[in-house]
């Protein structure tokens, strides 16, 4: 399984599935990250936290733990 955490900088990936449950999954979905959405990885901090992405035209920062719950194609 490939997750957003493992994606390379500059890549644009498509969300396959969201893992996790409850408040964590709700927080990810509230950012507009849902199945089938394209995510462009803009920047990853030197220690890997946060991961900066563009989703639906918005620039967002994701924690590494949240990125691990987003399965990509």
What gap in Å lies between CA 36 and CA 33, rounded to an integer?
9
Residue 48: predicted pLDDT: 66
- Partners of 54 in the beta sheet? 40, 59
Classify domain 4-72 at the CATH superfamily level: Ferrous iron transport protein A (FeoA) (2.30.30.90)
Residue 20: predicted pLDDT: 87
Asked if residues 33 and 39 have their Cβ atoms less than 8 Å apart, the reply is yes
Which tokens is 65 given?
């733990």
Q: Where are the domains of the chain?
A: 4-72
Q: What is the pLDDT along the chain (73 residues), one digit of tens a residue?
A: 899 999 999 999 999 999 988 998 999 999 999 999 999 999 998 876 899 999 999 999 999 999 999 999 9
Residue 62: predicted pLDDT: 93
């Amino acid at each position: 399984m490939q997750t957003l955490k493992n994606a390379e900088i500059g890549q644009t990936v498509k969300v396959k599935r969201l893992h996790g449950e409850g408040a964590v999954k709700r927080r990810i979905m509230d950012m507009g990250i849902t199945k089938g959405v394209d995510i462009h990885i803009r920047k990853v901090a030197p220690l890997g936290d946060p991961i900066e992405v563009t989703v639906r035209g918005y620039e967002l920062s994701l924690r590494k733990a949240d990125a691990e719950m987003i399965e990509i194609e």
